[in-house]
Amino acid sequence: MAQAYRAYCPQLNADRFVGRHPAKLSGVKRPPCSLHHLPLSSVVMKTSRLPIAVQQAVMRSLREKLAQANLKLERHYPEPRLVYQQRGTAAGTAWLQTYEIRLNPVLLMENVDAFVNEVVPHELAHLLVWKHFGRVAPHGKEWKWMMESVLGVPARRTHQFELQSVRRNTFTYRCKCQQHQLTVRRHNRIVRGEATYRCVHCRSDEHTSELQSRT
């Protein structure tokens, strides 16, 4: 299976849960970003639905940054494939084995300038690091160097885009200190007795829920 580096994970607030199975603690597998999030659904947008001007701006950013990197690195790294089918709340991912960048079309349409100036270079940097250094830490010193010294872009690991439009129905769970939004998938796991979730702050389990529509 091709490995993906999930870049630009959304900045989290305090309402995170730690997954716990009845028998043992089972942490949710995290993407390479230091911050992880509850998986949320989004509508897959076909390329044909994106304005040509937006597609051209994204491709221009990719090619300009790639040319800049090849000049500084004295290499001839190929152009990666662009795919506008990134789901959920991630702005984009870099897929190493298939050498492609997947962008979230919904967030792209809402944040065109940020995608062109930051997200595209961010994902490109992951692929360039893999080509130049091999398999290293996703957001390690090599990636930071590639972003800042080669591509000339601030090495920010997360985005803070508004996520309302890419969220679907969630269930509100209450612990002793706050409310938490869980996806339908996690809610169903609780109902089936397959998992419980514990607040990372007060350490209490959730105990009530109600459906919140975010469509």
**Residue range 16-25, pLDDT digits in tens:** 333 333 333 2
148 is catalytic: no
The single residue of 74, 79, 110, 123 carrying the catalytic annotation is 123
Q: Residue 9 in 3-state DSSP? A: strand
Question: Which residue segments constitute the domains of the chain, with CATH numbers given?
Answer: 4-164 (3.30.2010.10), 168-212 (no CATH)
Strand order in the sheet with 100-103: 4-7, 92-95, 100-103, 81-83
**Residue range 112-169, pLDDT digits in tens:** 999 999 999 999 999 999 999 999 998 999 999 999 999 999 998 877 777 777 766 6
- DSSP letters, 92-123, are EEEETTTTEEEE-HHHHHH-HHHIIIIIHHHH
Closest CA to 141 of 158, 155, 121: 155
Neighbouring residues of 161: CB distance < 8 A, sequence distance ≥ 6: 10, 91, 107, 110, 111, 114
**Residue range 31-86, pLDDT digits in tens:** 333 323 333 233 334 555 899 999 999 999 999 999 999 999 999 999 999 999 98
d(CA 47, CA 41): 18
Model-level pTM? 0.62
